[in-house]
């Protein structure tokens, strides 16, 4: 039987507030994925999302669907 989990990975809001935009850090995102892989999860699909925060700021993130 398969099990699925949906998680959202985003950087902190501070990058958006100070820089006007917050992009996902590749090293942090890699660690996030590796941490789930060690628990037996594998990525089925992912989608990039950019959300507007507080009218002027943008925040990048990924919606990740995992399976094990």
Measure Cα distances from 3 to 31, 35, 54 in Å: 21, 17, 36
* Number of domains present in the structure of the chain: 1
Residue numbers of the domain that contains 59? 4-67
Q: Are the beta carbons of 7 and 61 closer than 8 angstroms?
A: no
Question: What's the pLDDT tens digit per position in 24-46?
Answer: 778 888 999 999 999 999 999 99
Q: Beta-strand (E) ranges in the chain?
A: 4-10, 21-22, 42-53, 57-67
Could you report the per-residue pLDDT of 3-32, keeping only the tens digit for each? 999 999 987 665 444 444 557 778 888 999
């Amino acid at each position: 039987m398969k099990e699925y989990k949906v998680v959202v990975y985003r950087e902190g809001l501070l990058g958006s507030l100070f820089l006007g935009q917050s992009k996902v850090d590749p090293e942090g995102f890699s660690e996030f994925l590796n941490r789930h892989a060690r628990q037996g999860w594998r990525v089925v699909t992912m989608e990039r999302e950019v959300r507007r925060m507080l009218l002027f700021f943008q925040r990048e993130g990924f919606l990740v669907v995992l399976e094990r």
